[in-house]
Amino acid sequence: MYYTLNLVDSEWKKDLSKDKVVFTSPTFVISNIYKSMEGPKSDQYVVIDDSKEELLWLRSFKTNAVSSDEKRKLSNDFVCHTNFEYRDAEHYNRWNMTERINSQYPRITSISNGVEDFQLPDGFGFPVFSNERLFINAQALNHNITDSTFNIKHKIEIGFVKNSKKALIPLQPKTVFMMFPFDPENPYGGPTEQLPNACIPVETKNHTYIDTDGNPLSGHWIIKSGKHNYTYDTSAQLNIKDSIRLHQITSHLHPFANRFKLSDKTTGTVIYDCKSENFTDKIGLKNTPSFSSQKGIWMYEDHIYEMELEVDNTTDKDQEMMASMAIFYYDGEMQEKVNELKL
């Protein structure tokens, strides 16, 4: 109704400068408690600069909630997530790498509650063309305010550098995430003797996946009051061929997550130990640290990799949980393509 009657702004805006582009979302009307995936949202295909074609290296990602007049920065308690994605058919056709199309979900990365921004290691980037279409999904969040209705927007910033004779080192993104089984005949029943590792899904339409045996898994589940620990073998999701060199990890977590680890179970080493900080006077994540390394960490096809999540639901109500890692690793095939490129 607000948009139909033109009571609030319904258009995306773009502000391009020499080293960044800022996209401003339409107005989001906050009139209720909105947990993850429940708030007002907007999707948009965007182009950094459609006036020319040149190679750009995406280097940084940032989202801030602002007032509807765009003059005041607000708490990032109102940011559920911003998803940055490429269109894999367009992206890989431009590079003549068509074998990669539909090989994995084409997400570059995410910004979410507890993560306002991050930057790739110095000297590294994700290569796109200036006139290539990207996709942004922005959604609002509100865990705490119940006594008023107000409007916000999201300012979404992508930092980049232009290609030069000394090109950056290309990274390939991938998202890996925890998911657990549930009984499709009784999805909200919880663990059973047949499914001792079962979760209670938030719902069964979205974030439901099917394993190789045809069994449903949920990546969005309910946590009861108190402390809980979850582990998940992510080796299959990583799908490492021979080896990769990992350079960046940024987590997507929900409030009440305390610690999120990625470990090499074969060697017994912890690769990433994310100790997130929750607010103590309200619901929300205050800080979720990223992992970043110029040197990188080697990961191997024949090793077993595990994610471990520790949560503490300090309320007396059921809460929702998701846990994923947006990773970046060296892309040797893309390096060859960049070396051949003539622009």
User: Count of CB atoms within 10 A of residue 75's CB?
Assistant: 14
d(CA 215, CA 184): 8
Question: Any idea which fold 174-333 has?
Answer: Jelly Rolls (2.60.120)
pLDDT (tens digit per residue) in 192-242 = 888 999 999 999 988 999 998 999 999 999 999 999 999 999 999 999 999
pLDDT (tens digit per residue) in 245-266 = 999 999 999 999 999 999 999 9
pLDDT of 343 above 90? no
3-state secondary structure of 167: coil
End-to-end Cα spacing for the chain:
48
How long a stretch of residues is the chain? Answer: 343
d(CA 203, CA 280): 28
Task: Count CA atoms closer than 13 A to 109's CA, side-chain side.
Answer: 31
pLDDT (tens digit per residue) in 273-310 = 999 999 999 999 999 999 999 999 999 999 999 999 99
Mean pLDDT of 336-341: 90
Q: For domain 13-170, which CATH number applies: 3.30.300, 2.60.40, 2.60.120, 1.10.10?
A: 2.60.120
> What are the boundaries of each domain within the chain?
13-170, 174-333
Q: How far is CA 9 from CA 27, 37, 77, in A?
A: 5, 22, 21
pLDDT band at 3 (very low <50, low <70, confident <90, very high): low
The strand pair at 169-177 and 323-330 is best described as antiparallel
pLDDT (tens digit per residue) in 56-82 = 999 999 999 999 999 999 999 999 999
Q: Residue for token digits 């009861």? A: 224
DSSP string spanning 191-251?
A: --SS-TT---BS-SSSSEEE-TTS-EEESSEEE-SEEEEEEEE-HHHH--SSEEEEEEEEE
Amino acid residing at 147: D
How high is the mean pLDDT of the chain? 95
**Cα 43 from chain centroid (whole Å):** 15
pLDDT (tens digit per residue) in 193-205 = 889 999 999 999 8
